[in-house]
Each structure stands twice: as structure tokens, then as C-alpha cells.
Structure 1
Amino acid sequence: MPRVSIIIPVYNGANYMREAIDSALAQTSSEVEVIVVNDGSRDGGATAEIARSYGDRIRYIEKENGGVSSALNRGIAEMRGRWFCWLSHDDRHLPEKVSTQLAFLDRNPEARIVGCNFEIIDEHGRVTSEFREHLSIVRTGREVLSSWIYGCGLMIDRAALIDAGLFNESNRTTQDLEMWLRLAERNPIHLIPDVLAQFRQHAEAGSQTETRYQREKDELFARILERFDAAYFEPAATTPRLRADLYWFLATNAMARQSWGGAKLAIARAWREWPSPRNPAFKARVIGPRLAVRMRVLLHAPRRVAGRLFRVIKG
């Protein structure tokens, strides 16, 4: 029985998926199963042909198209291992990933989630840069949003995924961030310094429509504000002023992700939380005197106008 299940969701992935599957099969640990979930590819059977060429070295599942979240959830339902690993069809795991993370989990039996650092590769598989996270453990929502948790670098207890409610299938483009927030609410996310995965940047990545992506980013931040208590993001946020600071942090994080609708909602929360929004201290501390008038306009502006104003705020 495998300890680890590497799940590869794929949609029209013929260009890179062989590299992903080969990297999963090349793990130095022998306690691994590889599950490829074909999410209703429409490429004339090219994706299916590659997957089937591996025979019984992998488990191959076909389903109707439903997005990455639905493919991951299907893989989780089928997996036989305790530990879940996600591998995008265009990314790669380095050979020691599973064995290194299992060794960490064996040394730290209380841990249920462990991540790693990673390299960035181009369309030809050449390393272009390396990313190292400075945090060794993530416990709060603020830390989740402040760090770069790479989904394909994680190893997660299947039971922790189920406890968190699995991936949100209504969200096709930003499902990972929401899941990490729900996971960290229940279990610390440990991050080890080893570089164990490779994230590919290429022209085909993120081919979803900009309209859908923008809408789902805004919906994500709306759910974050509705779903999570302020104390989860910042345990010390026990006063209105500290909560206002927190919501301003959420607004700037939304801006960085170009979620103008989400930023607008967070700023409205900050404005309401501050003991006296008309107080000059609010203007100096949160938005700065130069932006005070613009902020009042922004809070009532349509989303498209808000986006332009936020770009000005960012400088």
C-alpha cells in the first residue's frame, strides 16, 4: 500500500505532461502511487494517449470537464496513500521530494502539512530562478497571504484535506489560495528549506479568460472577508484600530493580486472599523493625507474605476 499519492490533474496537457509523469515516477521513494486525472481534455485524444502509454505504472482516470478543483477532488477520492501531493501537468517534482518530506513527517509526527522551496523553469525545462520562502511555519491567514505557498511543493495529510472541506469546485482559477487558508486555520503549514519542485512558466499557463479570472479573484476576497474571522489573520487584532490595519493589509494584498473588487471591500471594512474615519490619524496612518479625498470617491466607484484608482494608489 503506498504512503504517498501524487495526483496530476490535466486538461489538454500533451505538451508537458510526460515530463510531469516521469518526474513523479522518478521519485527515490518506493512508497508512491501516481494518479493522472484527465479533466475532459479536448485535444483529439493526445492527452489520453500519453497517459495510457504508461500502462500500469500509473492510475489513469477520465472525467467530464469540471476544472482543476474537481479533478483534484476526484483524485483525493481515489487515492490509496495517506499523504497527498499535487503535481500540475506542466510542473515537475525533483527525485528527492517525496523521501525528503516523508523524513520530515517521520521526525515530526504532529505535522500534517509540509511544503518546500522550488525552482522556476521555462518552456524548455531550463532553470531560470529559484524561490526561497523565509518562513519555516505558517499559522495565520496573514502569513498565508504574505508567503508564497506553492501547491505542487506541498505534502498534505488526506484527512486534513477532508477536514478542510476539499477544494472549492466552484472556483476554477484561484482554488489553491482559498484551500491554504482553510488548511492553515486548522493545521500549521511547515515549510522546509529544500528545493524539491519546479514551477514552469510558459505561454500556455493561465490560459483562462481574464474576465473569469478577475471575477473569481474578487469573489475569493469577498469569501475571505466573509468566511474568516479577523483574529485568524492577526491574533493581536483585538481593537478597532488594529482590525482597521489588518483590513488595510488585506486590501493591499488584494491590490497586489489585482483584485480591485476585493481591495475595495477590504478598504470599506477598514474604514468602518477605524474608531473615527474622519479623524486625521486615520488618513495619515491608513491611506495618507494625499489619498483621503480619492478614498471617499473610490468606496463608491464602479469596479472598473476602482481598478484605475488602485493603480494610482500603488504608484
Structure 2
Amino acid sequence: MSRPQVVIASRELFPFGGGGIGTYIAQTARVLAPLADVTMLTASWYRDKYAELSALGDPRVDYDGARVEFVDVPEPHEYGTFYSHMHLYSHRLVERLRALFPDGGPDLIEFPDYLGEGFVATQARRGGDPFFAGTTIAVRLHTSAEMCEVLNGYLDRDFERRISRDLERRTLRDADVLLHAGGDILASYRRFYGDDLAPGVLVRHPLDDDPTTEQATAPATNEDGPLRMIYLGRCERRKGVQDLFAALLAFTADWRLTVLGRDTDTAPLGRSMRRTLELQAAGDHRITFLDDIPRADVRATMAAHDLVVLPSRWECWPYVALEAMQAGVPVLAPRVGGFAELIQPSAAPGWLTPRPGAEALMAALGPFVAEPARVRSARDPHALRNHVAALTDPDAIRRGYASLLKPADTTQKQVVTTPADPVPLVTVVIPYYGLHAFLEEAVASVVAQTYPRVEVIVVNDGSFGPADVALAEVATRYPVRVISQANGGLSAARNFGITQARGRYVLPLDADNVLEPTFIARCVALLEAREDIHFVTSWNRFIDPDGVPYPAPNEGYRPIGNWSAIVHERNVAGDGTAVLRRRLFEQHHYLEDLTAFEDWALYRELHDAGRFGHVIPEMLWRYRIRPTSMLQAVGVPQEERLQAEVDALIREQEVTWVSTNG
């Protein structure tokens, strides 16, 4: 019997880059080696260095049999129609998975939450992609980029950063499970993001056993001299280092603080935090700043101090706390996140402040600064190491992962590709005005669908020229119904066609576009399985008037869905080619005053009504770009004007204008 296949994806990997996440990935791969065949999927930044270290036999890249594969990191000129660097990277990651596992996805894929690396994979899995049919998608909670920005006091309004925050949020919702290490981590995420997240599963972090790091032993206790404290971590607002300085500098008694960590620009107005701390310290001899030291020396450096102080405003499950305790040094930290369980005074020496901030730190550190013996006498390296061993037990971690490798209940995340009986009727509404050259190809693509129950309505929007005899010719060759109206525009034609529809679902299709054979089946399967999804669309492929595909990187449109609030400023929801529940049109319709962007306006309305759709991240239909199309001739040149018209028309509909006075 073949062994389970596990993929751990992360752009960070020790020893090449990143902090705790990179370390976690490397050690998790080693711990899982007896359980499964492990593949680490990381960024191509490290490809050459990995080859170099492997050739040298460097033990740091010996992952106990786990293989390392790489995803090409996008350059800005390659973004094309992707919304952000991470949107494209997450797509490339899925394509790399398909290449590595040609017979179907692995049993388990684990993504970090940071930057939404697993967005396209979860979007595809939720959309019924057969590749992921047997795959459990897990997202490990490390601290999202959005949480970091909030805790660092600056929510960047840049479009790409906002999109990345949305990708993170959606990935946390659409994953099969969220992995957390304990404490208050999962509860914190639910307080931050709301309860609409994937279910949580507790699986601890293994402890880094970097082969170049020797086990440090606690030095002999020095009963003399001031309290020796060390802060380890980036000089960053969210790490609470400013709070620590404010607390300690209020004491007139003697003490010593060592600060070891890289600088960041998280001080007010984006200034250097290191420089801000130096100004705050004003040359105080009690504070020593250390530059980077070799990783092998970190635990010994900690062991030379009485106390590790980690004053973070929130923290997930930091390795530095585990490493400090393994080095025999007690930790003081606020009762937040993972600290709530990592530090257990009943099991091993350590102290929790009731909350973050300078005031709580002053209250906790004051007695220790006054009487350092309180800390030194409590120091118990044996108890600390036993506590760490219990928290990082490899067998317990393997049991946690083994439970994820069992057949999962996927009814909420993965859908079948065949809808339930009775098979619902889908009405395809094709507005027509002068597109005789393309109409038959559009209709033929509908008739060729793998989905068995489709009716086709062609709405002639007042087009009665000689070439429009194509309507009659198509009607004689294909099972379509042609209806006519006075010329009213695309929105009016769609609305009229929908009023004549008999199907449970409707699909507006422009007369010059082309469906791939499985488009309707894939969309209906998802709609039948999930009542909370109100429409389904997909990525599309751009073609020219002759049907020739556009080249990369602008080869198609890749929306993410109308669940994103960014839909109010840009159409990230999708094109009009979508399968929608017909009952939506009892309350909504295409705005007939618009000459373009009518689909965007509808998706905005649906967003505001809490009716969200899903985007299948595959190119399941073709969008024909014609120089004379309404979008190219009017929509693109007049985009700003049209967006303002959409804003006004939606607002107009929200107001009751008729007098309500008796």
C-alpha cells in the first residue's frame, strides 16, 4: 500500500529565509517523515542556494527524505490580469501541484495563512476541481498579514495589499481545516475575522532541532548584580518592544536589557523602530543592542540571562519562547494568543501579565527588578525542558496529522461534478444585435455542453438588417427559441430573456462568446450543492475576432468573486457569463440605463444584499475582444464616467422616492 502524500507549501524555508514559518516548515517535514512522503513547495528564490548546499552535504538541507520543489516567483511584468503578486503566485503553486501529481492531488496540502498563499487552491477545491477531490486542504495559523498590519498600526490602502488581505480572509474561510497550536490562537482569529471560518484542529508545532545548534545549558545562577533580561524578536510595534522600553525606563533601580532583533519601519510615520528605541533610551547604559548573531549562538545567548521578556501585543506560537525554555530560561509575556498555553507557571517557571502594554509590564517586572533573586531562585531548567518536550512531542504531532489523512467529510468544501436528480433546467439567454458572424459558434458551444438539460433563448434586440437572416438559419439548425424586442440595449435584452426563461438557473451569454463543454455542468453542480452560493462563474480566455487566444500575461480575465468589498471600486466579481439562480431576478435586474458595466452593477447589488457567488479558477469560457464591441468602444474609454453612473444608479435604487405621507 502506497504511503500518504503530504505537501507543505510555504514561500519561507529554513535555512534560506523567513523567521518562524521557515523553521516550522523544515522541522514539520522531518517529523512527518515516518508517516508520509513529504514534499515541501517553496519559492524559486532559494533554488540555486538549495542546490549549492545539497551538493556540499550541508545538514541543514537534510529534511529526512522530504523532497524540495520550487514555484517560480512572479516578476511584476508577469502579473497581467492577476490582481496581485500573491494571486498569481497562488495560481502558479496550483499549476506546480498538477505537474508534480499528474494522477490527482496529494492527500494533504498545508498552506500558511500569511498572504493567502492557498487562495487559488481553496477556490478550485470549493469549485469542484476533480484534481482536489481526494485532498484535504489545511491552513496553518501563523499570524496573517492583516493581523500584522493592524498590530503594527498601519493598514496599507494600496490596492494590492487590500486584495492580499481579501485573499487571506477567503482562504481562512474556504480551507477544510485550520491548524492551530493551542492557547487562545483559534479564538483570537474568530474574534478578529468573525465566526465564518473553517473548523479548527489542534496540532502542535515541532521544535526546531537545527543540526548546527548545540543544546545550551543554563549557566550557574549568579545571585549578584541587577536583573539580566533579553528581548528577542524584530524591533517591531506588534512585538511590544516600545512598551517594554517605557516600562523599564520608569524604574530607577538597576537592571540590564539586551535587545536582539532586526529593525523594521513600524514606528509612527513609518520610521525606523530601532532608531526610535535608541532615542527613547537616550543612551541609557542599562540597554545593549546586539546586531545579528549566528543562529547556533542564540540559545547560549538566552541562557546567559535571567529572564526572556516577550511583550508582544499578540503572538501566535513563537519558537523563541520554546527555545528560551529549552535553554532553561523562564519567559515573561502577556496572556495573549499562544502564550496563554505556552507559559504555564504550574508546570514550569514563567510569568503571564494579564494584558499587553507598559502598565502591565511595569507591574510584573517591578518586583523582579527590585529583587532579582525572585527570578533566579525560581529558575528550573529541568522543569522548563520537560514542559517544552510535552508541548512539542513528535508522536503527538504525527497523530494529529494522521487524523487529517483519514477520509474527510468534504460535503461543505468539495462538490460533485454531476448535479442531483431531477436535473434542473438551465436557460441560456443570448442577446443579439448584429453579431451574425459569431452567433452560430456561441449557440453551438451551448448545444455541445456536457450538461443534459439546457434551453436556449436568443433575444433579437431590434436587429433587422439583411445579415440578420443568420437568426433564422441558426434556429433551423439548433434547438433555440428566438424572440424579438425593440432595440433597448444589452441590459434590456437580458432582462427580457430572463422573464421568458423556464429554467431554475439562467446563463446570460453574449453572442460573440464561447463556452467550453463543461462550463454549465461545473457551475450547476456547485449551485445544487451549496444554497449559500447564488451564482457561479469562472476565469475566461481572451480571443481575438478570429478566435485566436491572446498570449500571456494578459491571456484572460481572472476575477475572485463579489464577496470582496473591493467590488465597489473595481469589478473583481466576474463577467456577465455566469450561471445564476433565476429567483435572484425577482429582486434584482440588469440596470437598463447603463451602456456598459451592467454585470458589475448587478454583482455590486448582490454583494450589498449578502448574495455571493463563486469563481472557478479555470478558463471555462472564451471572451472575444472586438475593437468595435461596446466594452472596447465605450466601456474602457469612459470607465471613470461609467463607474460614477453605476454608483448613482445603485444609490437611486436604494432610496424610496415616492411620498409616504398620507
- TM-score bracket, shorter-length normalisation: 0.5 to 0.7
SS at match of 1:153: coil
Is residue 601–residue 650 contact of structure 2 (8 Å, CA) maintained in 1? Answer: no
The aligned counterpart of 2:624 is: 200
Change (3 A) 1:180 1:50: farther
Q: Distance in 1 between matches of 2:431 and 2:559?
A: 29
Q: Give unpaired runs (5+ residues) of structure 1.
A: 230-315
Is residue 12–residue 41 contact of structure 1 (8 Å, CA) maintained in 2? Answer: yes
Q: Distance in 1 between matches of 2:605 and 2:651?
A: 9
Q: Does 1:182 align with 2:596?
A: no
Change (3 A) 1:25 1:87: same
Change (3 A) 1:144 1:199: farther
The aligned counterpart of 1:72 is: 494
The one-letter code sitting in structure 2 at the alignment partner of 1:133 is R
Q: 2:444 aligns with which of 22, 26, 29?
A: 22
Change (3 A) 1:134 1:173: closer
SS at match of 2:436: coil
Is residue 9–residue 87 contact of structure 1 (8 Å, CA) maintained in 2? Answer: yes
Q: Does 1:157 align with 2:565?
A: no
Change (3 A) 1:84 1:144: farther
Change (3 A) 1:116 1:66: same
Change (3 A) 1:24 1:217: farther
Q: 1:106 aligns with which of 518, 521, 528?
A: 528
Is residue 430–residue 509 contact of structure 2 (8 Å, CA) maintained in 1? Answer: yes
Q: Percent identity?
A: 24
Q: Deviations over 1:165-216 (max 9, x none)?
A: x111122333222112112222012112122110001233228975x98779
Is residue 141–residue 185 contact of structure 1 (8 Å, CA) maintained in 2? Answer: no
Counting matched residue pairs gives: 225
The aligned counterpart of 1:62 is: 484
Change (3 A) 1:33 1:218: same
Q: Distance in 2 between matches of 1:115 and 1:219?
A: 23
Is residue 139–residue 185 contact of structure 1 (8 Å, CA) maintained in 2? Answer: no
Superposition CA RMSD, Å: 2.8
SS at match of 2:587: helix
Is residue 52–residue 60 contact of structure 1 (8 Å, CA) maintained in 2? Answer: yes
Q: Deviations over 1:40-73 (max 9, x none)?
A: 1132233433333335x11111111111111101
Q: 2:556 aligns with which of 131, 134, 151?
A: 131
Q: Distance in 2 between matches of 1:206 and 1:123?
A: 14
Is residue 70–residue 169 contact of structure 1 (8 Å, CA) maintained in 2? Answer: yes
Is residue 97–residue 196 contact of structure 1 (8 Å, CA) maintained in 2? Answer: yes
Q: Distance in 1 between matches of 2:482 and 2:645?
A: 36
Change (3 A) 1:149 1:42: farther
Q: Distance in 2 between matches of 1:174 and 1:207?
A: 8
Is residue 515–residue 620 contact of structure 2 (8 Å, CA) maintained in 1? Answer: yes
Is residue 113–residue 156 contact of structure 1 (8 Å, CA) maintained in 2? Answer: yes
Is residue 7–residue 87 contact of structure 1 (8 Å, CA) maintained in 2? Answer: yes
Q: Does 1:53 align with 2:495?
A: no
Question: Where is the helix percentage greater, Structure 1 or Structure 2?
Answer: 1
Q: Give unpaired runs (5+ residues) of structure 2.
A: 1-422, 653-662
The aligned counterpart of 1:302 is: none
Is residue 562–residue 604 contact of structure 2 (8 Å, CA) maintained in 1? Answer: no
Moved over 6 A (4+): 212-216
Following superposition, the deviation at residue 106 of structure 1 comes to: 2.4
Q: 2:644 aligns with which of 200, 221, 227?
A: 221
Change (3 A) 1:228 1:193: same
SS at match of 1:5: strand
Q: Distance in 2 between matches of 1:154 and 1:226?
A: 22
Change (3 A) 1:199 1:148: farther
Change (3 A) 1:21 1:190: same
Is residue 442–residue 512 contact of structure 2 (8 Å, CA) maintained in 1? Answer: yes
The one-letter code sitting in structure 2 at the alignment partner of 1:89 is A
Q: Deviations over 1:94-143 (max 9, x none)?
A: 110000111112232321111111111111112224336363x4324423
Change (3 A) 1:209 1:118: closer
**Bigger-Rg structure (1/2):** 2
TM-score (norm 1): 0.64
Matches within 5 A, 1:290-309: none
Change (3 A) 1:50 1:204: farther
The aligned counterpart of 2:432 is: 10
Relative contact order (C-alpha < 8 Å, sep 6+): which is higher?
1
TM-score (norm 2): 0.32
Change (3 A) 1:217 1:182: same
The aligned counterpart of 1:289 is: none
Q: 2:594 aligns with which of 163, 171, 175?
A: 171
Q: Distance in 1 between matches of 2:470 and 2:640?
A: 29
Q: Distance in 1 between matches of 2:492 and 2:547?
A: 28
